[in-house]
């Protein structure tokens, strides 16, 4: 009997090890995500984009504002192929190099199907869309679409964003870029954080 018991314990060890590794991974994955997020904020390059109204317009959903950079359609990168039909066309990863205009707002300068490096490179999704004057265009999918906000500030923030969309001074999204990854850090109104603007108006 002791030998049989010892045999059972020996056979259970691999399963126990797998369970321990799985349990550890459940803790590590979120921690790594938080670490990467904070690292991008601390070390990343700040870039800004003009925001457009989400379609359909619904900027406030729960605890976040829906965010969409105004630039959604650009020239297709060389060599991109169509995959699927119509709305079912598959997004493929592309690397966009950004350049700032005279107002400090960024736009896509070029797209590449191969990874490229640089302080203002961001990894996006793209799929073939319509042709404009014989040139192939792609629809861009940005890696961020929401800005989380304190629920107490959200109603006023929603109103302020709605007032600016489509106007001469639209909201501006500020993000941090590091190694092609992006983190949305703020929404600016006239260069001021939306959090600060709401707090000032509440006084």
Q: 40-65: per-residue pLDDT in tens?
A: 888 999 999 998 866 444 555 557 78
Backbone angles phi, psi at 37, to 5 degrees: -60, -50
Q: 125-137: per-residue pLDDT in tens?
A: 999 887 777 788 9
Whole-number pLDDT of residue 12: 47
Q: 136-175: per-residue pLDDT in tens?
A: 899 999 999 888 887 788 788 888 888 887 777 889 999 9
Share of the chain above pLDDT 70, in %: 73
Residues 148, 63: Cα–Cα separation, whole Å: 6
32 pLDDT higher than 80: no
Whole-number pLDDT of residue 201: 78
What is the side-by-side strand order in the sheet with 146-148?
60-61, 64-66, 146-148
Residues 114, 118: Cα–Cα separation, whole Å: 13
pTM score, whole prediction: 0.74
74 pLDDT higher than 80: yes
Answer yes or no: are the C-beta atoms of 130 and 161 closer than 8 Å.
no
DSSP lists the bridge partners of residue 121 as 97
Answer yes or no: are the C-beta atoms of 138 and 111 closer than 8 Å.
yes
Q: What is the mean pLDDT of residues 183-192?
A: 92
Whole-number pLDDT of residue 90: 81
Reported as type and span, the H/E element at residue 25 is helix 2-43
């Amino acid at each position: 009997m002791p030998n049989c018991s010892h045999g059972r314990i020996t056979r259970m060890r691999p399963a126990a090890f797998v369970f321990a590794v799985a349990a550890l991974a459940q803790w590590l994955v979120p921690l790594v995500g938080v670490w990467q997020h904070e690292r991008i904020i601390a070390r990343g390059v700040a870039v800004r984009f003009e925001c457009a109204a989400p379609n359909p317009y619904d900027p406030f959903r729960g605890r976040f504002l829906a965010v969409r950079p105004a630039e959604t359609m650009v020239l297709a990168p060389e060599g991109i192929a169509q995959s699927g039909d119509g709305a079912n066309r598959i997004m493929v990863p592309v690397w966009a190099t950004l350049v700032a205009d005279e107002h400090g707002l960024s736009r896509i300068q070029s797209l590449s199907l191969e990874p490229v490096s640089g302080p203002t490179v961001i990894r996006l999704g793209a799929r073939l869309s319509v042709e404009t004057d014989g040139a192939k265009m792609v629809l861009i999918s940005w890696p961020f679409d929401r800005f989380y906000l304190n629920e107490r500030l959200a109603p006023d923030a929603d109103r302020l964003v709605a007032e600016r969309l489509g106007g001469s001074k639209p909201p501006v999204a500020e993000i941090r870029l590091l190694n092609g990854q992006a983190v949305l850090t703020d929404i600016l109104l006239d260069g001021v954080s939306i959090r600060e603007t709401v707090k000032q108006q509440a006084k």
